[in-house]
Amino acid sequence: TTVGMDQDSTTGALEAAASAMLRYALPKGHPVLLEPMMRMEISVSDTHVGSVLSDLSSSRRAQIRGVEGSGQVNSAKQAIYGDVPLAAVLGYSTALRSLTSGEGTFSIEYSHHAPVAEEFAQFYQEQDSSGGETGGTTTDH
């Protein structure tokens, strides 16, 4: 398809044309909604490992990579490693304090982008069409 532009085209006309092209092309390209994933390390006492793992798996869509002892003599600390969507980490410090009676700590760093699960992609699309913020990134896949 050839696209041309008249020198006298207005900004509004160009925006309308670009919008129409996107509405036409996006469904044909099979877009995939991506979200930022964070690499997370959590340090908790042995007594709180179960509740923290349960919260990460059920409420935060985390992918647990492993659990290890601290390696220090006479330490009852465990390190939990996983990847978790950035959206699920917001407010996590409060939740972790509650789950561990204030003893748990965590650190996060950006890891990669990953496709959003279908049920969440539909939610984000509904938010976007109603004027809400999505936080995701769309790409052709």
Q: pLDDT per residue over 15-44, tens digit each?
A: 998 899 888 888 888 888 899 999 999 999
pLDDT at 23: 87
Rounded Cα–Cα distance for residues 41 and 82 (Å): 7
Dihedral over alpha carbons 107, 108, 109, 110 (to 10 degrees): 180
What is the domain partition of the chain in residue ranges? 35-115
Angle at 138 between CA 135 and CA 141, to 5 degrees: 145
Quick one: CATH architecture of 35-115?
2-Layer Sandwich (3.30)
Rounded Cα–Cα distance for residues 56 and 62 (Å): 5
pLDDT at 140: 47
Count CB atoms within 10 A of the CB of residue 52: 23
Q: pLDDT per residue over 47-93, tens digit each?
A: 999 999 999 999 999 999 999 986 665 568 999 999 999 999 999 99
Angle at 28 between CA 23 and CA 32, to 5 degrees: 90
99-116: b (≥16 Cβ within 10 Å) or e: bbeeebebeeeeeebeeb
What is the bridge-based pairing of β-strands 105-115 and 77-85? unpaired
